[in-house]
Amino acid sequence: MLRPYVLVNVAMTVDGKIDSAARRGATISSATDKRRVDELRASVDAVLVGGKTLLNESPKLTVRNPALRRERLERGLPENPMKVGVVSVANLDLDGDFVRAGPAERLIFTTRRTSPEQIVRLEKAGVQVFVSRGSERVDLGEMLETLHRLGVRRLLVEGGGTILAEFFRLGLVDELSIYLAPRLFGGATAPTLADGPGFLPNQAPRLTLVSVERFDPEGGILLRYLIPSPSTL
């Protein structure tokens, strides 16, 4: 399968939470880390989020720094990377930042559970819609093949925990960066880096530590891992 190189980037607390139990997009990154993420977005062809993040937060997923946007244009690239949402039922806010913030290409991968009327509304708003062959969940392998055909060679996946767990389960992650914030959210229902049913010990993805860096004055730590493909283990 031809697919993009997949980078996962998250900010999480020391107890592994990527949001509070309120699930309202709590800020975890420091100012220093936000600049790093902006540079990371500027370096990729597309940025992807899953359904809960898309529907609850409608993130911009754009490059904030004007200098970074100019650098992309000078390299012959679009000002912002492509924005990609993966959601089973694509009832997102058409006036939200995912659709309106830009300029950027906007793609939604969804299922037959999204009504034809909503697909027409999305397309009229300038969103490209791809309907997965499966009726319940988007086929991530099929989606990555489509992105590769569209010219995406480096894909940044920013969350949330449910779709991240599925990327790891399917062996579709090449690199993982974690900003570890000196905070503790707690809460049994607060989302983590990999939600869902979890992995049995003999199925758990293997990570290779590349670097550890004390990253900012707040005491945050930046961890970087590579994920070997199953064939190299």
**Rounded CA gap, 166 and 161, in Å?**
9
SS3 83: strand
Average pLDDT over residues 165-189: 96
Q: Tens of pLDDT along 117-144?
A: 999 999 999 999 999 987 789 999 999 9
- State the Cα angle at 219 between 217 and 221, rounded to 5°: 115
Report strand pairing: 127-131 vs 175-181: unpaired
Residue 233's pLDDT is: 47
Summary mean pLDDT of the chain: 94
CATH class, range 5-232? alpha beta
How many helices (H) and strands (E) the chain has is answered by 7, 9
Which residues fall within 8 angstroms of residue 178, CB to CB, at 6 or more apart? 9, 10, 11, 12, 193, 222, 223, 224, 225
Helix (H) or strand (E) holding 144: helix 140-149
SS3 7: strand
Domain ranges of the chain: 5-232
Residue 18's pLDDT is: 95
Average pLDDT over residues 54-62: 95
**Peptide bond preceding 103 in cis form (omega within 30 of 0):** yes
Question: 23 vs 57, 124, 187, 189, 215, CA distance in Å?
Answer: 10, 30, 11, 9, 26
pTM of the model: 0.95
**Rounded CA gap, 9 and 167, in Å?**
13
